[in-house]
A and B are shown apart, each in its own frame.
Chain A
Amino acid sequence: KNEVEQSPQNLTAQEGEFITINCSYSVGISALHWLQQHPGGGIVSLFMLSSGKKKHGRLIATINIQEKHSSLHITASHPRDSAVYICAVGGAETSGSRLTFGEGTQLTVNP
């Protein structure tokens, strides 16, 4: 079992739909990162959170430390949101230079 599990692996939505991507982890963490990777490679950091909830535009990230679970929500989805979304955790016991990555969720938003 991976230390960081994401679901679903693949997600197809229609433009305008509300989207949720889930991330569960099995280790103690100091911070959880949500990353976005578009085709062509570049990775953008969307959120870093260690508790509660953060919002940026149409994106919302939440984390429940007790349940070791985080969700990334996209409201009013748009085709430009099509990308791979990756959850990564910075472990509480590990060095501050390593992230453990989930396998990613491929999101496709159709017009």
Chain B
Amino acid sequence: DTEVTQTPKHLVMGMTNKKSLKCEQHMGHRAMYWYKQKAKKPPELMFVYSYEKLSINESVPSRFSPECPNSSLLNLHLHALQPEDSALYLCASSQADLRTDTQYFGPGTRLTVL
């Protein structure tokens, strides 16, 4: 199984809502990533979990809260988002080190904040 799954595929939320994005992989990968991608732009790294510990937070606003309950699961909790947070949110995983390992991406969650 070389798949990264993400749910939901689409999400529309108001600025006062709380929602969560979910990501799952069963490849035994020890690194998991959240990216944000705006239209016609490359992905921007948000968070990295390595061996279930948060290793990188790219100065992401606190209205985005990541969680890694176990080595297969990655969540992104959303609260009080702004319309400019509307984007494609991509999850990815890799064995460990991107200097030597391939990164596998999920299909993304397209988020619209009203």
Binding site for B on A (CB under 8 A): 30-31, 33, 35, 40-45, 48, 86, 88, 90-92, 95-99, 101-104
Contact = CB atoms under 8 A, between A and B. Distances in A.
Given A45-B105, A96-B99, A97-B56, 11 more contacts: A41-B90, A41-B110, A43-B105, A44-B105, A96-B96, A96-B97, A97-B33, A98-B48, A98-B98, A101-B42, A103-B42
A102 B96 CA distance: 22
Interface in B44-97: 45, 48, 50, 55-56, 88, 90, 92, 96-97
Interface of B: 31, 33, 37, 40-43, 45, 48, 50, 55-56, 88, 90, 92, 96-108, 110
B45 A98 contact: yes
Contacts, number: 67
